[in-house]
Structures are given as structure tokens and as C-alpha cells.
Chains A and B, each alone.
Chain A
Amino acid sequence: MSEVNEMVQDVAKAGISRRHFVQGAAAVAAGAALPMTQILGSSSVSAAGKVFRFASQAQEGPAAPWMTKGGSLGILNAVGAWLIDVDPSGALVPSIATKWMGSNGGKTWTFTIRTDAKFHDGSRLTADDVVYTLKTHLDPANKSQSAGRLGDCTSAGIVKVNATTVRFNLKNANANFPYVVSSSNYGLLILKKGEKGDESWVKKMNGAGKWILVSHKVNEKTVFKRNPNYFDKAKMPKFERMEQIQYVSQSAAIPALKTGKLDAIHLLYGTEANTLPTSKFYKTLVPTCGGLHMHMRCDIGQLTDKRVREAIALSLDRNAYIKGVLGGYAVVANDSVMDSFPTVDKSVPQRKKDIVRAKALLKEAGVPNGFKVTLQSWKRDDIDKFTQFVKSSLKQIGIDVTVDLDGSDGGGARWYAYSVYPSVKGSKVPNKGEWLASEFGIAEWAGRPTPDEYLTREWASTGDWNPAYLNSPALDAAIKAWQRALTPAKKKAASSAIQKAALKETPIIVAYNEIRVSVTSNKVKGVKFNQQGAVYDTGRSA
């Protein structure tokens, strides 16, 4: 369909004014004239014209499907396509799979694969590619960071039924399995059969997504061009190019936004976003279940006594922190990952600041005068602030916190080194200043449409990303019950059990669920970000 036809359709659908229609026609004419302007050497393009430029967070590692790390998901989201998409509200939306269906009590899942999707190199995406992709993640030799999420799958259980059908025969029933293979599990973007999802993939990033890679400089800038062969024409980006510029601190991108060199800043502090004039910029708020998870080792060190962990949790004034430091852009959480989901048991009492009780617990634990402890993580805006909140709060109960943040340049090299991976139950790994080998640390978790990934990977004793090394049979049983539950009532009962077990053991403090704030220039309309922090829709020039 030509651009003009598309635009006429837009007029019919959206009912935009004649003036806008004429402006749009002028834009199409300008687009037709582009080759001539390029010949004449004019490469100047306004920030809100043909290029969408936005600031995003720094990367912790390569943007490779098997090596998924924070900061990379924005890049993967641009070039990749998944079996299913998750929209900003958390709903599942067809993508490579046009439909899916569960059977056998949630143990079998069948996906219908579309036939019109192509990789960026022009080759057709087939059911073979889907089967290949999922199997590569399950192959231990590939050390995929997404393997832990596919715990219910076996390589033999992933079967190509015919050219348009792929079936997953799971070991255990899982009502939320479609979410497992969705874009929320961003490492599972469909690879071309035979291609590796390791660091070598980053050179071409041969995905099937909306955007084709033009250039990529780690932690600097990644440039994409629109994929003319993208299978879902309704979601075709309106911009010709997209540039993702990475900043260690999003606040540092504000001058570029103000001067029109950027169109949007993703994940800006709410208090800072509020300082920008509403006449020129607008905020996009995405409530998520993501945020900072502060773990306390349950197997070694000074925090093994659950009374100490509870005392730490009770020293935090969560509401005050959210209202003050976060400008209200978060929702108080109760030290579990269940709080923001509809199945939450609201009768479980919310933990509140109680210094008297916290001191009493420390006394019972034999450390009435507190102790010294090092809180480790990596340097980024929200972690910087949260560590100071923890330090200030714990000082009130006599715990002297030394903050050790990895790197002033975006960091993550030490904190996410993964020299210890996966976390192994009972391994008692010593403190190495890494996420999975630290006594007291903080990791940032992006939002997920369901709590399954948090539960199976971070909270279960068998999880591969279990930084607290908690081994609680009660919590494990509750997590299993959650996974197997096929009705809302059973889900709610399992959620309640998880919430109670989490409060009893307090292996991880989840003080709040963040509301992600992005700021966009009024020159661009309709930008949407998803819960994980990637651009879902770049919108269009105003």
C-alpha cells in the first residue's frame, strides 16, 4: 500500500482535519523529494521529522538474545519479533503467532505461525525458525540467560507439527505459558535457523522486527531504519529512522531534549520530569510491577537471621520515599512480587516503618547495637537514590551501611559479570560483589505481565537468578501452586501463600512498584512505551 493510500485510510479512520490532511500530503511530497535533497547535501532532519530520537539507559552487556541484560531490551525490542507481543497494558497481542491455544490442562500449547513474516536479510520466517530458536535457549552449551524461564519445556517437547503450527508439550501445566514466549521474555526473539544468539548476532541483528539495524555503538548510539517488509502493516512505524542514544544518567539528556536534539527521554525521574514545561513536553506514565529488588543472603553473612532481614524491612518509610524522592511515581509494595497483580490477596497486612519493632528484632537476633554491612549494586539514577534511602533508614536502627556501586560509567561490568551463574541451591557462594554473589545487593527488574518469571527465577530455591539463596519449602510449594493454578480462585490462593511466605522470610525487599515516566516533545504524538521499558510505538510527527 502506498504512503498516500495509508494516509487516506488514516483520514477515514481517525477523522483528522483537512488542515492535517494537507500537512500530511505535503510531508509525503517532501518524502518523494528526499533523494534530491540528499544529492544536494542536505542531511538536516528535524528532531520530530523523519527521525525519532530518544534517550535510553546504558547497557549492562551486549544486545544479544542469549545474553539478555538490562539496557539491551530497547535494542532487541526494535529489531526483534516474538511469538506474541505484550502491549503497554500487559495484554497479549498476536505477532509471529497469529493464535495460540492451551490444552491437556495447560500442559500442551499450540501456536499458529504466520507465513508472511521475513527476517531483515529477506529470508522467510518459518516454523522451523521458531523451533530452532526455542531449542537453542534450552541447549546448555549456549548458556542462554533465558533458559531459566523455559523451565517447563524440554527440547524434545518443542515440535513442528506442520509449516504453520508449533506445539509445546510441557513437563508441568502452566496457564501463563503464552507469556513465557512473549516479548516480555525479550531474549526469546525469533532467530533465523542456524544463526547464533550470542555476541556475534549483534553485528547484524537479523531479526524480523519493525526496525532494521543501521549502526550500533555500545552505550553510545544505535541507529535503525524502518523495515519495509514488516509483517504487521498496521503497526508499521511512521518514522523512517529511529535513533536510540544511551545515557548513564537520563537527567543528563534533558538539555538535548530541551534543544530539540532528542524527541523523548525514557525513564526520567518523575521529579525531574515535572520541571519540564507542559507547553512543550508531555509525560507518558506506565505503571509496572518492576522496580528495585533488594536481596539479603539467607545462607551466608550477617543477614541469615530472618529477624534481621525483617528489621531492615521495617526501617524503611516506603510511603515517604515514594511521595518525596519519587514524586509519587510509584506504588508501595509489600516485599513480594504479587502486589501489582489482580490476584493479590489484599488482606495481607502492608509492612510499614516501625523502628521500635525493628530494634527489638535486632535485639532478639543478638545484634542490639547493629553492625556494619556493605550494600552493593551498580550505578544508575534510581539505584543511587535508593541506596541512600536504605543507608539513611538503617542508620536509625544502628546498621552502618557502606554503599558500593559498580562503575561511574554506566557500570555493570562487575555487578553483572555472571561469574556465578546460575545460582545453585546450597552452594554458599562467597561474596564477590556480583548480583548472584553478594550478601546485600540491589538489582533492577523491568516490568512483566505476570509474576511468573520473578517467582521461578528469583524467588524459588531452584531459580537460576536467586540472589538471596533462600531455601523455603513453603515458598517453593506456593510458587508451584501458582504455576499449576488454572482458575482465578486458585491463583489468588497461591498468591496469598506466596505473599505470606515472602513476608515471613523476607529474602528480598520490594519497597515499591514503579510507574515509569517518559517525557516526549509535543512535536511527536502517540509515543508508547511498554512495561519493560522499550518503545512500543514511536508515534508520529505532530
Chain B
Amino acid sequence: MTDETAKQTKQTELSERLAVLKKNKAFIVGASILAFWIFSAIFGKLIARYDQDFMDYESINSAPSLKYWFGTDSNGRDVFSRVIVGSRIIMVISFLATLLGAFVGASLGLTAGYLKGKYDMILMRILEAISAIPVIIIALLAVAAIGQSSPIITILIIGFIFTPNVARTVRAAVLGESELEYVAAAKLRTEKTLHILFREVLPNVLPTLIVEFTVRLGYAIFAVATLSFLGAGLEAGSPDWGTQVADTWTLIFTNVWWPTLFPSLAIASVAVSINLISDALLEVFEL
């Protein structure tokens, strides 16, 4: 089989899998929910009915109503508007953190799986050691060590935490790929290692990387929300969902449940949507 024929076969296979994916119910539901939140993240200020910081002093802790669909919090702020606007913060931070983890993790996994030997062994042991520490503990330690928190620091921390998992997954896929003929052919053509890794091997492990990316994105949503809940993430009073839950959970004891429930549901819906998408990808790409 020539290179051109192999490429065409792969493209046809990909088209067929994507066609199957489009009909997968889990994917459709997951993608729809995620699309809604992406739309909210981009156009949130247009959808929100009030400014996220606007305080209606006449409507403190108001239950859901026609005026305030998700009710108001103890500062009289519209929970619906804050949930919608808050989506941007968590989506952007989670996406960038996952992207960072995927990029660094994929680079390390590619080199480890391809170069093997001592480099692979040492790198994997280090990454295993990092993954053995609970995510939130690492994050809190990092915030405490840095002495401050900000969206950029949150992105760096979560990206760092996700790197070992991505690296291990990509490495496993590369170990199989590196034994295949096209890699040997590239070596015979005296292609440089970077070319072989990123132009030859990477495209072939991309489905694995995409699935890993979606899985990590789901975890990132939880990680960002948890860090915010613990006060180690974003600005106090931010409409970010984790901060909203942290700011309002004690109100539950006074039967004011809505400022906590709706941001919690938002977190859950994004996490579920991403899991549905990743399950569908796993099924369709038979990974």
C-alpha cells in the first residue's frame, strides 16, 4: 500500500467514524449542552437579564420567580445572570488549563514513547510520583507556595496536574505506533526526530489525545470549581460557579437553596456533557 492510498483509507475511515458519531445519542446530548454553555460563555452578557454585580436591595434572597428566574442571592443579585456570565470564567480557565496539560503531556508522552530507554523510565517515574498526589492537595500547596491566586495561576496549576495523565496515555499509544512501518520508513528517509514525532506519529495518536483531552476537560471543570469553592481560585464575589457555591452554601440552612443549586447544576451539566462526548468518542473510535 502506498502512502497516498493509506492516507485516503484513513480519511475515509475518519469520515465514516464521524458520521457514526453524529448519530450517537450520547454525543448529541453532550454536544448540545456543551454548545449552550460555550454560547453562554461567548455571548453571556447578552443573555443575562441583569448585570452580574447589580444588587436589588428590595429582593434579597428572593425565590425563583418570573422576575428572577433562578432567584436572587443574599446580596440581591440575579442568580440566573450570574450563572450565565459565570460560565465564561470556568469554561475559559478549564479549556486553557486542559490545553496546556494536553500540549505539555503530549510532548512528553511522544518523546517518552518514541525514545524509550532510560529517558522514558525516569520521566515516567517522575510523572507517576506527581500523579500519586491528590489533585486538590497539589493545587492548594501550589497556591500556598505562590502566595496568591489568579486565573493564570489556576491555569498553570491545573495544566501541571494534568500533564502526567496525558503523557502516560499518549506514551502508551506511541509505543504501539513506533513499531509500525511508516515510522521505520520515516527513519530510513533520515527524517528528524521532531518531524517523525509531530508530523508522522502525532496525527496517528490524535484520536487518543482528543479523547484524553475531553476526559481531562471534565476533570478541569471540577478542579476549577473546587479551587474556587476553597477560595484558592478566583476573586471573591466573582460570578464563577465555584465561588458562587462557596459564597452561598450556608444559606441552605435558612432554606435559601437556589443560589447554591443553580451554579451546582451548571457545573454538573458541563461535566456530564463532556463525559457524554468523551464516552461517545471512545465508542466510535474504538479506543
Binding site for B on A (CB under 8 A): 249, 251-252, 254-255, 258, 269, 271-272, 275-276, 317, 320-321, 323-325, 327, 379, 384-385, 387-389, 391-392, 395, 402-405, 407-409
B237 on the A face (CB < 8 A):
yes
B54 with A392: CB separation less than 8 A: yes
- Taking the closest CB of chain B, its distance from the CB of A396, in whole angstroms, is 10
B230 at the interface (CB under 8 A from A): yes
B residues near A (Cβ < 8 Å) are 51, 53-61, 74-77, 230-232, 235-237, 246-247, 250-251, 253-256
Shortest CB distance A268–B (Å): 10
Query: Assuming the A-B contacts A271-B60, A388-B53, A408-B246, are A252 and B237 also in contact, with contact meaning beta carbons closer than 8 angstroms in the complex?
Result: no
Question: Whole-angstrom distance from the CB of B235 to the nearest CB of chain A?
Answer: 6
A392 near B55: Cβ-Cβ < 8 Å: yes
Q: Are A324 and B231 in contact (CB under 8 A)?
A: no
Judge whether B231 and A407 touch: CB under 8 Å: yes
* B74 and A323 form a contact (CB under 8 A): no
Say which residue of A317, A321, A327, A384 sits within 8 Å of B236 (CB atoms): A384
Q: Determine if A324 and B60 form an interchain contact, defined as CB atoms under 8 angstroms apart.
A: yes
With a cutoff of 8 Å between Cβ atoms, the chain B residues found around residue A276 in the complex are 254
Cβ-closest chain A residue relative to B61 = A271
Which of B51, B53, B250 is in CB contact (< 8 Å) with A249?
B250
Q: Give 8 CB contacts A-B under 8 Å.
A: A252-B253, A269-B74, A324-B59, A327-B60, A389-B75, A404-B235, A408-B230, A408-B232
Known: A402-B235, A408-B231. A389 touches B55 (CB 8 A): yes
Quote the shortest CB–CB distance from B66 to chain A (angstroms). Answer: 20
Query: In the docked arrangement, what's the CA distance between A391 and B60, Å?
Result: 17
CB neighbours (8 Å) of A275 from chain B are 254-256
A320 to B250, CA, bound (A): 23
For residue B231, give the distance in angstroms from its CB to the closest CB of chain A.
Answer: 2
Tell whether, in the assembled complex, residue B247 and residue A324 are in contact, meaning their CB atoms are under 8 Å apart.
no
Chain B residue numbers with a CB within 8 Å of A409 are 231
Check B60 against A387 for contact (C-beta < 8 Å).
Answer: no
Cα distance, A251 to B255, chains bound together (Å): 12
- Chain B residues lying within 8 Å of A272, measured Cβ to Cβ, are 251, 253-254
A430 vs B250: C-alpha distance when bound (angstroms): 36
**A384 vs B77: C-alpha distance when bound (angstroms):** 14
Q: What chain B residues lie within 8 Å of A258 (beta carbons)?
A: 253
Closest to A322 in B: B57
| Minimal Cβ-Cβ distance residue in A for B57 | A324
Partner of B60, one of A249, A325, A402, A405: A325
The smallest beta-carbon distance between A98 and chain B, in angstroms, is 45
Return chain B residues, CB-CB under 8 Å to A327: 60
Residues of B within 8 A of A387 (CB): 236-237
**Residues of B contacting A254 in the complex (Cβ-Cβ under 8 angstroms):** 250, 253-254
| Closest residue on chain B to residue A251 by CB atoms | B250
Q: Are B57 and A320 in contact (CB under 8 A)?
A: yes
User: From B231, which residue of chain A is reached at the shortest CB distance?
Assistant: A408
Q: Is the pair B254, A251 in contact by a Cβ cutoff of 8 Å?
A: yes
Residue among B51, B77, B237, B246 with the highest chain A CB neighbour number at 10 A: B237
Evaluate contact between B237 and A403: CB separation under 8 angstroms.
yes
Q: Which of A255, A323, A384, A405 is close to B57, meaning CB atoms less than 8 Å apart? A: A323
SS of B interface (majority): loop
Which of A384, A391, A407, A408 meets B53, CB within 8 Å? A391
Q: Interface SS of chain A: helix, strand, loop or mixed?
A: helix
Whether the pair A388, B55 counts as a contact (CB closer than 8 A) is: yes
User: Measured between alpha carbons, how far is A193 from B256 in the docked complex, in Å?
Assistant: 53
User: Are A391 and B250 also in contact (CB < 8 A) when A324-B57, A408-B230 are?
Assistant: no
**A498→B76 CA distance, assembly (Å):** 35
Taking the closest CB of chain B, its distance from the CB of A46, in whole angstroms, is 22
B61 contact set on A, CB distance < 8 A: 271
Which residues of A are found within 8 Å of B57, using beta-carbon distances?
317, 320-321, 323-325
- The complex places the Cα of A470 from the Cα of B231 at a distance, in Å, of 33
A413 to chain B, nearest CB (A): 11
Name which residue of chain A comes closest to B255, CB basis.
A275
Given contacts A251-B254, A320-B57, A325-B57, 20 further A-B contacts (CB under 8 A): A249-B250, A251-B251, A251-B253, A254-B253, A323-B57, A324-B59, A325-B60, A325-B76, A384-B237, A388-B77, A388-B237, A391-B53, A392-B53, A392-B54, A392-B75, A403-B235, A404-B235, A404-B236, A407-B231, A408-B230
A325 pairs with B74, CB closer than 8 A: yes
Would you give the shortest CB distance from B47 to chain A, in whole angstroms? 19
Q: Which residues of A contact B253 (CB under 8 A)?
A: 251-252, 254-255, 258, 272
Cβ contacts under 8 Å, B60 to chain A: 271, 324-325, 327
Q: Which 4 A-B pairs have the closest CB atoms?
A: A408-B231, A324-B57, A251-B250, A320-B57
In angstroms, how far is the closest chain A Cβ from the Cβ of B140? 10
How far, in Å, is B243 (CB) from chain A's closest CB?
10
How long is the Cα–Cα vector from A384 to B251 in the complex, in angstroms? Answer: 14
What residues of B have a CB within 8 angstroms of the CB of A384 in the complex?
236-237, 247
Contacts of B59 in A (CB 8 A): 324
Residues from chain A with a CB closer than 8 A to the CB of B53 are: 388, 391-392, 395
Q: With the chains together, A249 CA to B252 CA distance in Å?
A: 13
Residues of chain B within 8 A of A407, CB atoms compared: 231
A266 to chain B, nearest CB (A): 16
Roughly how many angstroms separate A408 CA and B232 CA in the complex, as a whole number? 8
Bound: A492/B172 CA distance, A: 82
Query: What CA separation (Å) do A387 and B53 show in the bound complex?
Result: 11
Decide if A405 touches B74 in the complex (CB within 8 Å). no
Supposing A388-B237, A407-B231, A408-B232 touch, asked if A325 and B75 sit within 8 A by C-beta, the answer is: yes
CB distance from A388 to the nearest CB of B (A): 5
Contacts of A404 in B (CB 8 A): 235-236
User: What B residues does A251 contact at CB under 8 A?
Assistant: 250-251, 253-254
- Contacts A391-B53, A392-B53, A405-B236 known; A324 to B58 CB distance under 8 Å? yes
Chain A residues with CB under 8 A of B51: 395
Whole-angstrom CA separation of A384 from B74 in the bound complex: 11
Q: Nearest Cβ distance between residue B221 and chain A, in whole angstroms?
A: 20
User: What chain B residues lie within 8 Å of A395 (beta carbons)?
Assistant: 51, 53
For residue A249, which residues in chain B have a CB less than 8 angstroms away from its CB? 250
CB proximity of B143 to chain A, nearest CB, Å: 10
Residues of B within 8 A of A255 (CB): 253
**Chain B neighbourhood of A324, CB < 8 A:** 55-60, 76
Contacts of B247 in A (CB 8 A): 384
Q: In whole angstroms, how far apart are the Cα atoms of A269 and B55 in the complex?
A: 18
CA distance A388 to B254 in the complex (A): 21
Please pick, from B58, B75, B256, the residue contacting A385 in the complex, using a CB distance under 8 A.
B75
Residues of A contacting B246 with CB < 8 Å?
408
The CA of A269 and the CA of B254, in the complex, are separated in Å by 11
CA distance A254 to B255 in the complex (A): 11
Chain A residue contacts of B250, Cβ below 8 A:
249, 251-252, 254
Distance in Å: Cβ of A271 to nearest Cβ of chain B:
6
Nearest chain-B residue to A269 (Cβ)? B74
Q: How far is the CA of A112 from the CA of B75 in the complex (A)?
A: 51
Closest Cβ neighbor of B246 among chain A residues: A408
A398 to chain B, nearest CB (A): 13
